[in-house]
Structure 1
Amino acid sequence: MESVFPRELGLFCDAFPAESRHQLCGHELRIAHHHGARLGVAAPVWEAALTLCEYFEAQKLNFWGKTVIELGAGTGVVGILAALLGGDVTITDLPVALKQIEENVHRNLPAECMARTQVAALSWGLDHEEFPNNYDFILGADIVYLKDTYPLLIRTLQYLCGPQSTIYLSSKMRQEHHTAMFFERLLPVYFTSELAFRDENENINIYKVTHKSNP
């Protein structure tokens, strides 16, 4: 029977939930991720998300009393940390990912943070106008990887980003996904953008993006 049902559970890891732990900004986060075809790329904690969280700590970013929205949250790790750091946070992704995000919110946020954190579905370019358009911070980690979604993401960012907003986008710079084209050619048409941090070893860039004033 063991030849039919081997004991090595790693062979079936795609069918089982997993948990990872991360020390970030003085907090230990316990993040559940449910690997499988249903969630796909939304399941893991991507390195670009951890890099953005570490950037918050290095820069001592202040989220107290600030409104924050995370796009394409996946596990929600970035938005959860922003809530722990004082933000009034909305964590968004496609409907299929919301249950995983909600689980991680409940795992990691005390009651006082839960009271100012919400999880909501947001499909770029479609229902973004159901959200406010003046967030203090707009966050995204590894959300630039499907070329067909780039115009939808731009449209959503244009709506959400007010004159006082700051966008932080952390991304693995994947040549096969034309990631550099998005940041170097497309994004600067609509926003003021600067490279805020680069991790050479992981090939991850963090861009600080703001509203482009009319000339």
Structure 2
Amino acid sequence: MNIAHLKRHEITKEFFCMLLNDNAFLVKCFIHLFIQYVHGFPPLQALVLCYFLETNSKQYNLVDKNVIEIGAGTGLVSIVASLLGALVTATDLPELLGNLQHNVLQNTKLKCKHQPRVKELSWGIDLEKNFPRSSCHFDYILAADVVYHHPFLDELLLTFDHLCQNDTVILWAMKFRLEKENQFVDRFQTLFDLEVISDFPSLNITLYKAMRKGRMKVTSSKVIV
């Protein structure tokens, strides 16, 4: 299945049916799991990111990796990452944690190598207190549908900056809507090297990989800054 050929729309039965015809086992399962057990539907960006993680699991191997999802919402991305073997911390605002905890527990208990954690994360607030850089190291930061017309884009950038260390990889699914989103990407690129790893024009969704600028790169026996 080529997701890029889908018409632009939100989550529909037609989209689910197309996923059923694909070979991505986890995505198939979650069509049923979310209908039966999950409160709320994830945004299309989350489904696209989950599909990418599963179908590119050799290149982006999450087994035993320390992963954090910011703005986890219904928790779909965190659940799929957990089932792919990651040690996941799913985060969101305090008022959303009850639903997030329910969804994560319902769909991962006794089903994954590492039981995921659910933790409060208000962007830009008490970052060092709740996620001290000396002890909180994440191999991957996952984000879907975190950039849109809201007043917390500055805080979101601060959060990316705090959580991302030299070897952390950000995988981020974004749907472009307004010029403000483009401005955020421009600001983001002052701190991070940004690479498009997959693009779905008909959905207006782009998947990015990002890493911190100025990190040390190891090539053979040479260290390059």
- The interval holding the TM-score normalised by the smaller chain is 0.7 to 0.9
Determine helix, strand or coil for the equivalent of 1:139.
strand
Per mean C-alpha deviation after superposition, the further-off stretch among 25-34 and 188-197 is: 25-34
Structure 1's unaligned 5+ residue stretches are: 1-19, 35-42
**Counterpart check, 1:127 vs 2:130:** no
2:149 to 146, 150, 158: 146
Q: 1:48 to 1:103 in 2, by over 3 A?
A: same
Determine helix, strand or coil for the equivalent of 1:49.
helix
Whether the 8 Å contact between 1:172 and 1:204 is mirrored in structure 2 is yes
**Counterpart check, 1:204 vs 2:171:** no
Determine helix, strand or coil for the equivalent of 1:63.
coil
User: Aligned letter for 1:46?
Assistant: P
**Counterpart check, 1:180 vs 2:182:** yes
Alpha-carbon shift at residue 59 of structure 1 (Å): 1.7
Whether the 8 Å contact between 1:44 and 1:74 is mirrored in structure 2 is no
Q: Comparing both chains, which one has the higher relative contact order based on Cα–Cα distances under 8 Å and sequence gaps of 6 or more?
A: 2
**Counterpart check, 1:111 vs 2:114:** no
Alpha-carbon shift at residue 110 of structure 1 (Å): 3.3
Determine helix, strand or coil for the equivalent of 1:169.
strand
Q: State, as a whole percentage, how many aligned pairs show the same letter.
A: 35
User: What corresponds to 2:219 in structure 1?
Assistant: none
Distance 1:90 1:25 in 2: 23
Distance 2:184 2:140 in 1: 20
User: What corresponds to 1:57 in structure 2?
Assistant: 54
Alpha-carbon shift at residue 125 of structure 1 (Å): 0.4
Alpha-carbon shift at residue 75 of structure 1 (Å): 0.2
User: What corresponds to 2:10 in structure 1?
Assistant: none
Distance 2:198 2:189 in 1: 17
Alpha-carbon shift at residue 114 of structure 1 (Å): 7.6
Distance 1:87 1:132 in 2: 20
User: Would you say how many aligned residue pairs link Structure 1 and Structure 2?
Assistant: 186
Determine helix, strand or coil for the equivalent of 2:154.
helix
Distance 1:77 1:114 in 2: 17
Per mean C-alpha deviation after superposition, the further-off stretch among 167-176 and 70-79 is: 167-176
Alpha-carbon shift at residue 132 of structure 1 (Å): 4.8
Whether the 8 Å contact between 2:109 and 2:115 is mirrored in structure 1 is no
Alpha-carbon shift at residue 146 of structure 1 (Å): 3.1
User: What corresponds to 2:168 in structure 1?
Assistant: 165
TM-superposition CA deviations, 1:150-201 (whole Å, max 9, x none): 111111111110111000110111126x212212x11101111111111011
Distance 2:190 2:150 in 1: 16
Determine helix, strand or coil for the equivalent of 1:153.
helix
User: What corresponds to 2:94 in structure 1?
Assistant: 95
Determine helix, strand or coil for the equivalent of 1:116.
coil
Distance 2:161 2:90 in 1: 18
Distance 1:88 1:135 in 2: 10
Q: 1:25 to 1:96 in 2, by over 3 A?
A: farther
Determine helix, strand or coil for the equivalent of 1:174.
coil
Normalising by structure 2, we get a TM-score of: 0.75
Distance 1:95 1:52 in 2: 24
Determine helix, strand or coil for the equivalent of 2:68.
strand
Structure 2's unaligned 5+ residue stretches are: 1-15, 216-224
